[in-house]
Amino acid sequence: MHKEGKKTVITMLVLTVLILISMYISLTYGVFELTIRDVFRTIFRIETNADFELVIFDFRLPRIVIAALVGLGLGIAGAVIQGITRNGLADSGILGINAGAGAAIVIFMFFFQDQVQGSGWLSVMIMPIFGLIGGLIASLFIFFFSWKNGTFDTGRLILTGIAIGSGFGALSMYISLKMKASDFEMATVWVSGSIYNANWIYIASMLPWLLILIPIIYKKAYLLDLFQLEDISTKSLGIAVEKEKSILLLASIGLVSACVSVSGSIGFIGLMAPHIARQLVGINHRHVLPVCGAIGMLLVVVSDFIAKNVFAPAELPVGIVISILGVPYFLFLLVKSRA
Q: What is the pLDDT of residues 131-186, one digit of tens each?
A: 778 888 888 888 788 777 766 676 777 788 888 889 998 998 889 888 887 778 77
Report how far residue 203's alpha carbon sits from residue 226's, in angstroms, rounded to the nearest whole number: 34
In this predicted structure, what is the pLDDT of residue 99? 87
In this predicted structure, what is the pLDDT of residue 220? 92
Q: E strand or H helix at 92, and its extent? A: none
Domain count, the chain: 1
Task: List Cβ neighbours of 106 (8 Å cut-off, separation of 6 or more).
Answer: 171, 172, 175, 176, 187, 191
Q: What is the pLDDT of residues 181-209, one digit of tens each?
A: 777 877 777 777 888 778 888 898 888 88
Report how far residue 283's alpha carbon sits from residue 273's, in angstroms, rounded to the nearest whole number: 13
In this predicted structure, what is the pLDDT of residue 269? 92
In this predicted structure, what is the pLDDT of residue 109? 81
Mean pLDDT over 103-114 rounds to 82
pLDDT at 115 over 90: no
pLDDT at 305 over 80: yes
**Is residue 70 in a domain?**
yes
**Is residue 52 in a domain?**
no
Mean pLDDT over 35-41 rounds to 84
pLDDT at 38 over 60: yes
pLDDT at 12 over 90: yes
Mean pLDDT over 74-82 rounds to 93
**Is residue 12 in a domain?**
no
CATH number of the CATH domain containing 139: 1.10.3470.10
In this predicted structure, what is the pLDDT of residue 228? 83
Judge contact between 133 and 104, C-beta under 8 A: yes
In this predicted structure, what is the pLDDT of residue 71? 95
**Is residue 24 in a domain?**
no
Quote the domain boundaries for residue 325.
58-338
Alpha helices, H only, the chain = 3-28, 36-43, 50-53, 61-85, 97-111, 113-116, 121-145, 154-176, 181-192, 200-219, 221-226, 231-236, 241-263, 269-281, 285-309, 318-338
pLDDT at 288 over 90: yes
**Is residue 25 in a domain?**
no
Report how far residue 223's alpha carbon sits from residue 23's, in angstroms, rounded to the nearest whole number: 34
**Is residue 242 in a domain?**
yes
pLDDT at 87 over 70: yes
**Is residue 10 in a domain?**
no
pLDDT tier for residue 94 given thresholds of 50, 70 and 90: confident
Which of 8-17, 206-215, 262-271 bottoms out in mean pLDDT, i.e. has the lowest? 262-271
Percentage of the chain lying above the pLDDT 70 cut: 94
pLDDT at 78 over 80: yes
pLDDT tier for residue 312 given thresholds of 50, 70 and 90: confident
pLDDT tier for residue 303 given thresholds of 50, 70 and 90: very high
In this predicted structure, what is the pLDDT of residue 286? 93
Other C-beta atoms lying within 10 Å of the C-beta of residue 269: 33
**Is residue 26 in a domain?**
no
